Structure 1
Amino acid sequence: QSSGTISGKIVDEKGEALPGASIFIKEINKVVQSSPDGTFSVTAPAGTYNVTVTFISYTTAVLSKIVVKANENTPLNVTMKGETGTLNEVLVVGYGTQKRENATGAVDQITSKNIENRPITNLTQGLQGLLPNLNLKMMDGKPTQSPTYNIRGATSIGQGGSALILIDGFEGDPSLLNPNDVETVSILKDAASAAIYGARGAFGVILITTKKAEKGRTNVAFSTNYSIKNPLQVPDFVTDGYTWAKMFAEAFVNGDGAFPQNANKTQKFSQAYLDEFKRRVESGQPYNQIEVNPTTGEYTYYGSTDYYAELYKKNTSATENNLSVSGGSDKASYLVSGRFLNQDGLFKYNSDDYDMKNIRARGSVQVFPWLSIENNADYSIMNYHNPINVGEGGGIWRNIADEGKPTMPIFNPDGSLTFAAAYTVGDFIYGKNGIDTRRQVFRNITGLRSNFFNNKFRVNADFT
């Protein structure tokens, strides 16, 4: 059978030759390597082949349906792309960038690919577990939280601090940043960071860079994300009324040596009450959970109420929409992105709803061959409703632990709240207490980039 050849050149993204790249032809199980100048040539019988090109620190290139004709040469030039996290990766370090293979400091970095298509309310949630030695201390689960960033833990007993966080070179709040705008996140972990940022970088530095406009034809990207969330760990409490009453009596007798007369002063308690509760439960017949004394009008409760189930929803939903438009020419480029996030709260009543809107406009113009102007504007609006429980202080969870007796239902027959409900979820049900938080942040960075004497002398300036 007549043969032909496949020949070409293997280069990187900058067009530089990659010597020693492996070119594998699957159908004939043949492997050749590129020469020092990146070229290669392989002979194969006439036919159609799948060619695989590999090189260390670069993404494997697979080319299918390569046709070889008898006594003819088939040209095949391949551009390899560097892998994230390899020696070829470009790192953001202080005032510039360098390849990982040239980096001498302790630096780690992730790119936008690590956090894309994830249902996260803010960037910090997406960074958990992705960067070595980065410790994120979440104060609570609220979507508004901007936790402390700690690198390599506490330096000594009682010491340790938060890392310096820079967004596009300036201090900022990551909780207000659109995760889809992020290009890279780098952490500088050693003392070298203090050489650039001084005492502010003593506990490490977090460098967050946002995406830049790409020259070329106009590109429009839209993504939407609908997620359903539910608590992973919830306390397992006794919610059966009689079981709780029996255990309460036993604990009280063991602790005080006497039978209780009241349950936290809001419900009368006695041996006769406990016996009647037991009789009703063991009868197997439906029974009234509330009895009204016809003489005094007092209520006696035989309920089984799960106060945490009354407080929380079983699941919540969140909707996120992202839109970006980018493009440009040799002289100018632009990128405009927008995000709308709406997340339902976790509470059943007076819920802690959250929404975030982000708009970013970024572009650059080559005014003269030696001067270019860049501008990066970001506007964020955050709205959050934080419900408040009065009770006896200490928060809703402490109040449920103290007063959320499962024997008491939520409402009395006349529609009023029972004492247990009034001290716990009552404020949520009525929805009269809460704090509405609204944060608006506008940030604009204008940069000037100039070079003289064949790029041997450069002057850069940024205004924010």
Structure 2
Amino acid sequence: MKIFFNSVLRLYPLGGRYRKAMALTLLPATVLCFQPAAAGTIKPIGAASTSTQPIPPATITGKVTDSKNLPLPGVNVQLKGTTTGTTTDINGNYRLTVPNATGTLVFSFIGFASQEVTFSESKTTINIQLLDEPKGLDEVVVVGYGTQRRGEVTSAVSTVKAKDFVKGSVNDAAQLIRGKVPGLSVVTTDGNPTATAQVNLRGIATLNASTSPLVIIDGVPGTLTTVAPEDIESVDVLKDGSAAAIYGTRGTNGVILITTRKAKGPSAPKMEFNTYFTTQRITKRLNFLNADEYRQYVAQKKPGATDYGSSTDWLPEVLQNPFSQVYNIDLKGSNENTNYVVNLNYRNLNGIMQRSNNKTIFPRIEVNHNMFDGKLKLNANINGYEQNFFGFDGGGFRGDVYRNAIYLNPTQPVKEADGSYSEHVDKTDYANPVSLLYNSDGIQQNTDLRTIGSVTFTPITDLDFKVLGSRDLLNNFSGYSETKQHYSTLHDGKNGYAARGAQRNEENLLEATINYKKNIGLHAFTGLAGYSWRETDFQSFYAQNYDFPTNDNSYNSLQSGRALSRGQGVENSYRSQNKLIGYFFRLNYAFNDKYLLMASIRREGSSKFGVNHKWGNFPAASVGWNVKKESFLVDNKTISSLKFRAGYGITGTEPASPYLSLDRINFNTNTYVNGQWIQAINPSSNANPDLRWERKKELNVGMDIGVLDNRITATVDYYNRTTSDLLFNYPVATPPYLYNNITANAASMENKGIEVGVNIAAVQGKDFTWNTQVNYSTNKNKILSLSDKSFQLASGYFDAGFLAEPIQTPTSRVQIGQPIGNFWGFKSVDIDDAGHWIVQGKDGNPKPIVQAQADDKQIIGNGLPKHYLAWNNSFSYKGFDLNITMRGAFGFQILNTPRIWYDAPVMMTRGNLLKTAYDNVYGKRPLADDQSVSYVSYYIENGDYWKIDNVTLGYNLAIKSRYIKSVRVYASGSNLKTFSKYKGIDPEVAILGLAPGVDDRNRYPATSTYTLGAFFTF
């Protein structure tokens, strides 16, 4: 039968066998020829003789296990080329209905290699065993502007995956990898919910500039708080100069590369939800006198002891039982061409101090799309955060609240009979901490919007052209006010105080790279060339006023204060801009995967530098030898991998301010002329056209080894880094200079050390596993010079740090031939019969402290740890998992400033004392009541400590639900126990700056954190 038609054909077969019309839309003059076929079918002549009867849907079932035959929950099971998929349950079982009885399933799970398995009508039960993701030399790590196999890496690079992150409550990305990376010191000095960790890599390498590593998030510069910790997939740390030199003037302090969570491979939409709830307690209270103990000294008529008639425990008056909560929703999906991730993170963190609250929301949307058979790849990413600090001083922390809460007179009431807060303004530096809390108000609001896009074109295999652009816009608003009842009014006559500020920081980035790979026989080449342009625009405004008519307006009516009209307020604004342009090249070469070479160079120019030094070159080279590939070792059953590495690189550091090299004008002075003051215009500083980058040269030699099928792996690195042309503010002669100081490059210092990391798969049983990791690092720092031929520091030293009144003296000395962090003061050796200090003179003989001179001071300790040690353990037993993180620091001292002030009986005139204030000193007698507060070595203590830093116990619930694929619940504790002889609240003190190791008496209390949480996969 032949049918000719030009539009639509509708066939209505007889006999009722077809109950629905079949419509075919064909091109004009199309001819269809039909012939009888099997009952109920119509097929074209010439088609295959097999029946086209639709194949009914099929159900595929099975179980997924790991290499030890343990079930794997949460494995993604996907029908290849579609979005049809499911995940395994707690027992590793899955059930998937597919449209046809033939096809391919893709099994994928983080930490394991993906597998593809075909199925058919006769094969609908598929049990598979996933193998661990490639590790050791085959593991993929992120490096500058790309990735490499671990076996190809010739520099010092450490990687921490999400599964190995520190569990429980964390505030930023650095706390996720605390104790996980040898040589990277991550210190949490207090429990402030607005604070972030202090991070230092391989020692302090600068005098004036920042010591924090450069942070790159998905290829774009950011900070450790730019992204929510729950949204991070991995963190890679470029530790040595050969790895970091590709970042030029920003790489001296190392580079932290953060990769956010991505959608991988074709997968159906998948949602993950995790949440946790946290509370805190103070880890340790300083042992001050209570009211009854204080009254004993009143009865003894100790100078300054006064009984105000009440009994007050001040610290609980300003503390609270905080409750914090975090929620994270992650939605992702993908097909062969497009994938997306939508992440929303909400954090409501309350501190142990009242009115310290930090609310932050992190949204992120990322879409990737492939076109033209994968030749064109598009990426769009919008992320950022909105953060609000609420409370006194904008939710931050004012140290005077804690300081007054620990040393205020315990017989003083919180409030007087008339309801007002009790105050004694006749005492110096003495205020009611509850009044400080509730007679002040503040807010800080940060909004960060990051828009990122990239286009990658691959015209031929292994050749990529990529252009990346980003814009990071950070806006900050702050407001703060004090009422007419605040201490500032009662003591200083402010009569109400308020301030407002705003900042705007815009950073634009454009980078273009070309990446090419080529294998020729046993030779493998990878080449990278790129261009980078970055522009930063910073603006700020600040104003303060006081003497207000009312408290009602807080910080929202600055104009109503009268101080500004009298010339007593403050108004200022500022703007700065700078640009950084770089060209970079890198070549990687490997012969037979045995002999490895990496060479790179970055030529970079910055507007921050002087006119004579706008551009600099930052070369690097490293080599590697995969000894395991050699014929004499390739068949060795004990050694699984062995590689030696050596690298050398030069990196730089930018000046902090963009205009230090230029002539700047000052309008802030006035001149009295003809009976009136007129505004004067004059240069504000000495220009330095030779200002340039700090230059760090670093040699790194390392070894990576794995034994017993990589059950035991270890990494060892030795480094020696010298930083020259360090920036410092030098004294100069006037004339020829207008002012007596100038910022210049003249100093140099050295850091060298050893890092060791050992990973052991100690037990790998059917039901029980135990993996353990030990990390160790040591660093030795030394100032080589503080001068050059143009600028000299004649004394060979300068002092740093400062103790407030009544001491008013520096704490530390930076000196040629000595390390950063030396405490500089009088070495106490005894007390006399009257209770006054005896110190050691410069001649080694004892003398009364009242006779001591400045040149009797000496080095009395060092605040930087010489050794760091961490021991991380993870256990699993069936559905349970237990992670224990321990870490410590050794070989350093701490200046216990609370003891300086509150262990001295003379301070009874200002408030309360520690119970040890009247203990015998050097086994003789207590200090005299008139012995002034003194900075002596008696208050320098051994800071060595060992912490049980984190313990997390989790359990995977056996959930059988159509909608919930897996559930994990866990309980976690952080900073649980500290073993130390230190007498302060916590030996984990500041490690940054030129005066590290000082335990500030104003510090926010250290806390232990307890967390309950759950992960849901849908």
Q: Same fold (TM over 0.5)?
A: yes
Structure number with higher helix proportion = 1
2:245 matches 1:237: no
- 1:28-427 to structure 2, matched below 5 A, reads 78-82=129-133, 86-115=136-165, 118-138=168-188, 140-155=190-205, 161-214=211-264, 215-239=266-290, 241-247=291-297, 253=302, 260=303, 262-263=304-305, 269=306, 301-313=308-320, 315-348=321-354, 351-369=355-373, 370-388=375-393, 395-401=400-406, 404-419=408-423, 423-427=431-435
Tell me, which stretches of 5 or more residues in structure 2 are unaligned? 1-66, 70-110, 114-124, 471-1018
Are the counterparts in 2 of residues 178 and 358 from structure 1 also a CA contact under 8 Å? Answer: yes
Q: How far did 1:398 drift?
A: 3.1
Q: How far did 1:103 drift?
A: 1.7
* Cα 1:172–1:160 shift into 2, 3 Å: closer
Taking the aligned partners of 1:172 and 1:303, their CA distance within structure 2 comes to 52
Q: Which residue identity does 1:309 align to in structure 2?
A: P
Q: Which residue identity does 1:416 align to in structure 2?
A: S
* Cα 1:249–1:158 shift into 2, 3 Å: farther
Taking the aligned partners of 2:161 and 2:286, their CA distance within structure 1 comes to 37
Q: Secondary structure at the match of 2:243?
A: helix
Taking the aligned partners of 2:167 and 2:337, their CA distance within structure 1 comes to 32
Q: Secondary structure at the match of 2:325?
A: strand
Are the counterparts in 2 of residues 212 and 363 from structure 1 also a CA contact under 8 Å? Answer: no
2:512 matches 1:461: no
TM-score (norm 1): 0.67
Q: How far did 1:147 drift?
A: 4.2
* Cα 1:196–1:411 shift into 2, 3 Å: same
Taking the aligned partners of 1:132 and 1:186, their CA distance within structure 2 comes to 12
1:396-424, Cα deviation, whole Å (9 max, x unpaired): 2333455x111122122332222269922
Q: How far did 1:119 drift?
A: 1.9
Taking the aligned partners of 1:59 and 1:378, their CA distance within structure 2 comes to 29
Q: How far did 1:238 drift?
A: 1.7
Q: Which residue identity does 2:400 align to in structure 1?
A: G
Q: Secondary structure at the match of 1:124?
A: helix
User: Higher RCO, 1 or 2 (CA under 8 Å, sep at least 6)?
Assistant: 2
Q: How far did 1:344 drift?
A: 2.3
* Cα 1:196–1:245 shift into 2, 3 Å: same
Q: Which residue identity does 1:236 align to in structure 2?
A: N
RMSD: 3.3
Taking the aligned partners of 1:166 and 1:83, their CA distance within structure 2 comes to 25
Are the counterparts in 1 of residues 193 and 356 from structure 2 also a CA contact under 8 Å? Answer: no
* Cα 1:141–1:79 shift into 2, 3 Å: closer
Taking the aligned partners of 1:432 and 1:93, their CA distance within structure 2 comes to 51
1:45-76, Cα deviation, whole Å (9 max, x unpaired): xxxxxxxxxxxxx979xxxxxxxxxxxxx998
Q: Which residue identity does 1:424 align to in structure 2?
A: N
Taking the aligned partners of 1:95 and 1:141, their CA distance within structure 2 comes to 36
Q: How far did 1:139 drift?
A: 6.3
Taking the aligned partners of 2:356 and 2:286, their CA distance within structure 1 comes to 20
1:317-373, Cα deviation, whole Å (9 max, x unpaired): 11111111111211111110101111223224xx11111111110111112221110
Are the counterparts in 2 of residues 242 and 302 from structure 1 also a CA contact under 8 Å? Answer: no
Q: How far did 1:77 drift?
A: 6.4
2:499 matches 1:449: no
Tell me, which stretches of 5 or more residues in structure 1 are unaligned? 1-22, 26-57, 61-73, 254-259, 264-268, 270-299
Taking the aligned partners of 2:385 and 2:208, their CA distance within structure 1 comes to 36
* Cα 1:249–1:321 shift into 2, 3 Å: same
Q: Which residue identity does 2:345 align to in structure 1?
A: R
* Cα 1:409–1:77 shift into 2, 3 Å: closer
Taking the aligned partners of 2:432 and 2:176, their CA distance within structure 1 comes to 33
1:27-47, Cα deviation, whole Å (9 max, x unpaired): xxxxxxxxxxxxxxxxxxxxx
Taking the aligned partners of 1:24 and 1:180, their CA distance within structure 2 comes to 29
Structure number with higher strand proportion = 2
Are the counterparts in 2 of residues 218 and 328 from structure 1 also a CA contact under 8 Å? Answer: yes
Q: How far did 1:116 drift?
A: 7.3
Q: Secondary structure at the match of 2:315?
A: helix
